[in-house]
Every structure is written in structure tokens, then in C-alpha cells.
Amino acid sequence: MRILIVDDEIVALNSVRRLLKRRGFSNVEICDNGMDAINRIKNNDFDIVLLDILMPEKDGLEVLKSTKPFKPQTEFILVTAVDDIATAVRSVRLGAYDYLVKPVDNERLVLSIERAYERKGLLAGLAGARNESKAVETLEAFSGIVTQCPRMTELLTYAAVMARSGNPILISGESGTGKELLAQGIHRIDSSVDAPFIAVNVPSIPETLFESQFFGHIKGAFTGADTDYPGFFEQADGGTLFLDEIGELPQKQQAKLLRVLEEKSVRRISDTKPTPVDLRIISATNQDLDKACQENRFRLDLLYRLKAAHIHLPPLSEREGDILLLTAYFQKKACAKHNKAVNGFSPEAVDILIHKEYPGNVRELAALVENAVLLAESGFIEPQHLGVEHVPIPPFARTLCSLTEDATVHFAFVLAHNKGDRKKTAQILGVSVRQIQRKIAMMKNDARWKSLLDDN
């Protein structure tokens, strides 16, 4: 592993170099200014660059910005004397792997370097794995996840590689995008068949019960504690603890979770000794946790721990190609569940499914399809089974006519579409309400057009 340390303070440079040498990193180089650093990083293949932020002339962020795009394989760890969340977030956006505050704890530094190196290896392996049959095999573990979207396939391949690292994984995405489903898949990839998967919905645990629920207690710890009780961490030992809606974790508990991650042990309430635990944490959120950190609602150090790997599930609107595939899948499931047979969806119903908005994402589509299967008597599923009133389309078929006649037909169409609303019609057509009224009066008096006006 080839490491470069960049810092304008020679003393700091030498002491970090000594530390790393003691820890077995033999190939460590140093550099004491930003300009030099840019040239050396661009012209060499460093695995890791430890970069001080506050330096005269070119500061660390500038060095990062001008080199990372050329050296995507080099991992950057930024070091700073000021603990400023905005800078931390900015450096991560620019591609830094980690952000450490001086005085840097030796263990934390070594851990960060090891992790960055590990990630680099994983990403390189991932690029190679894409074309191999191994990737396909991996995806079988995610067989419950229906998709043909290339972005999703790529993301699942990444998830599979990350699953094997055993590191914490953060899954973000809107509600109903399949975060829990993915967490279960990741768990299956890297655990024995009987390993526990403990799912905890964080906001549903009252703050007063947090300690006993997560850490457990021993018999007699408090009134009512009449048996020993292992908390969630211990229940998930040897498997996965899935922390859903992690963004809702209160500040005080964030510190406790961080400690468990660092110490890999828990202490039950009233117990004198800690119990070691070996578990993987997968957390999920539909919030922007970077923003939560900026607003001091979430601890940045905890966020880094939780997102050794970060997977963002795109909303259904960004994987439109999956809508019909998922529809067929949910239709089959619903038919089996309710012992019903339907032929499929009518073309109008398909049109509605494709163009609808899904704020509840895959979950919403699943419920919609299941209800439609229940409502359809037999044959095909029609728009009304999807809760869409069947609007009879007036006979506005195209005919060979003059432009004036065509304009009248178009006028009637827009008016009918707006259920006779003069104001809306005027807005759409770009004319005044009075012109609309005049046009309607004219049509009412003309046998050719009268029938197009419905009862409006």
C-alpha cells in the first residue's frame, strides 16, 4: 500500500509517518505543500492520501478537487484542526473517503486507512466482477427483488460485494423503494441460514425503553425485570441488526450506538461486565442524513461508521422500465394469494399504470395491483379497477376539415377535458374567458357543433 501524507507542519508529518511505519505501513511518503502535492498525486498511483485541510496557498480541499477526478482509485482522508461539519460534508462531496479532526486518535487513523484500502480493493474487484458470471450468481441471493433496470442491477452487484465485507451498510431511499427487502438480501448473502435478522423500527422504541430494549438487562435490574433479557444487539449476535429510520435516533442514543460499534460489546443494564457481540448493522433512512449532520441533528462520526458502504435506492419514477415487470409479478402473487384468475391488464389500464405517479413507490404499485385483482370480476383489469373513473372520450376523431373547424373541435376537447371550467379552458388556450363564452354561444346555435358541447 502506497501512502502520501500532506501537511505543512513538518513535525506532524514525521510523527504520522513514524506511527504508520510502526503499524507496518512501510511505503509512506511525505509532502509539505499543496502545489507539490497536486503534482505528485497526479503523476503517481497512491493508494491513500492523508491530506491536511489548512495549508497556505493551496489548501486540502483544493488539492482534493484538482486531483480526485484524475485519480478515482486514490482514496483521500482529510485531516483538519477545526471540526466544522460544513467542511466535512463538502470534502465528502468532493470525493474524500473520511474526515478526521486533530488531534487524530491513532486507532481511528489506522482504522480509516485500512477501511479506505479495503474499499478501494472492493471497488476494483467490483469493476472486474461485472462481466463475470460470478455477478449473476450473486444476484440470485436477491431473487425477491424484481428488476431489469441496469442501474438497479449495478447497485445490487455493489451491495453483494459490500455484503461480504461485513461492514455496516446504509440504505437510503424514499418510502417503499425496497430498503428492507434489500437489507434482507444482503443478510442472506453473508450469513448462515439460521443467523438472526433483527429488524428494529427506531422511532417506535420509546426513549425510556431504549436502553433496556437495545442493551437488555439482567434479572432484578429494575422492578419488573424478573428474568435476564438480551437486547437487540445480543439478539442479532452472529447475524444482522436492521435499524430502520435511523435518522430518528435521538442524540443521546446516537452516542450509545457509536460506542457499541467501536467497542463491539454491550453491557446489559446492571451487568458488571460487557458481552462481546459480532453483528452487522444495516441501517435505512428516507432522510438526507448529510443535511441532518449539518443541522446538528445527527452525529457525523456515527454517520461515517454506519455508511462504510452507502446504497441509494432510486424511486420508481427513475426506473420506469420496471413498472410493468413488477406489475406482472404482483399480479401473479395476488392471483395466487386470493385464488383468482385474471387475464391481465387492458391497454388503457397499462397506460394508466405507466403514467401514474407513485409517491409510495413499489409498495404503492403492489397494493394497487392487488386491489385491482380483487376488484376485477374476470377477464382483463380495466381503468376502473385501478380507481380511475372511465371518462368517455367524446368523438373527437380527426377528420378532413378546415383549420377553423379544427380549432373548434380542439376548443370543445379542452372544454370537455376541464369539465366545462371556462377559466381553466381560457388559460390553456391562451384566450380570455369572454372569448370562451362567445365561442360556446356560437356553438350552441350551430347544429354542427352543438353535440360536442355535452351539457357544459
Instruction: Choose one: 67-75, 109-117, 172-180, 213-221; the region binding ligand ATP (CB under 6 A).
Output: 172-180
Among residues 9, 180, 190, 370, the one that binds Mg ion under rule CB under 5 A:
180
Per CB under 6 A, the list member of 175, 265, 427, 456 interacting with ligand ATP is: 175
- Rounded to whole angstroms, the Cα distance separating 92 from 108 reads 17
Closest separation in Å from C-beta 145 to ligand ATP:
4
Distance CA 118, CA 139 (A): 22
* CA atoms of 201 and 324, how far apart (whole Å): 31
Site for ligand ATP in 319-378 (CB under 6 A): 326, 362-363, 366
Q: Which is nearer to Mg ion, 51 or 152 (CB)?
A: 152
User: DSSP assignment of 213-278, as one string?
Assistant: HHHEE-TTSSTT--S-EE-HHHHTTTSEEEEETGGG--HHHHHHHHHHHHH-EE--BT-SS-EE--
Q: Segment near Mg ion (CB under 5 A), from 108-116, 175-183, 230-238, 397-405?
A: 175-183
C-alpha distances (whole Å) from 163 to each of 53, 169, 182 are 33, 8, 11
Query: Smallest gap, in angstroms, from Cβ of residue 237 to ligand ATP?
Result: 24
168 binds ligand ATP (CB under 6 A): no
Angle in degrees, 0-180, between the axes of helices 403-417 and 433-444, rounded to the nearest 10: 110
Distance of CA 62 to the CA centre of its chain: 29
Residue 29 in the binding site for Mg ion (CB under 5 A): no
Smallest separation (angstroms) from Mg ion to the CB of 180: 4
Give me the least distance between CB of 286 and ligand ATP, in Å please.
Answer: 5
List the one residue out of 116, 94, 89 whose CA is nearest residue 3.
116
Stretch that binds ligand ATP, among 67-75, 144-152, 190-198, 273-281 (CB under 6 A): 144-152
239 binds, among Mg ion, ligand ATP, none (CB under 5 to 8 A by kind): none
The C-alpha atoms of residue 394 and residue 432 are separated, in whole angstroms, by: 24
Q: Pick between residue 55 and residue 135 the one whose CB is nearest to ligand ATP.
A: 135
Q: How far is the CB of 240 from ligand ATP (least distance, A)?
A: 14
Residue 186 vs 302, nearer CB to ligand ATP: 186
Exposed, middle or buried: residue 307 (CB in 10 Å: 0-12, 13-18, 19+)? buried
Q: Least distance to Mg ion from the beta carbon of 144, Å?
A: 14
Is 97:77 a contact under the CB 8 Å cutoff? Answer: yes
Among 33, 265, 286, 294, binds ligand ATP (CB under 6 A): 286
Q: How far apart are CA 89 and CA 72, in angstroms?
A: 19
**Which one, of 258, 280, 278, lies nearest residue 167 by Cα?**
280
Smallest gap from residue 183 Cβ to Mg ion (A): 8
Contact between 179 and ligand ATP by CB under 6 A: the answer reads yes
Residues near Mg ion (CB under 5 A) = 180
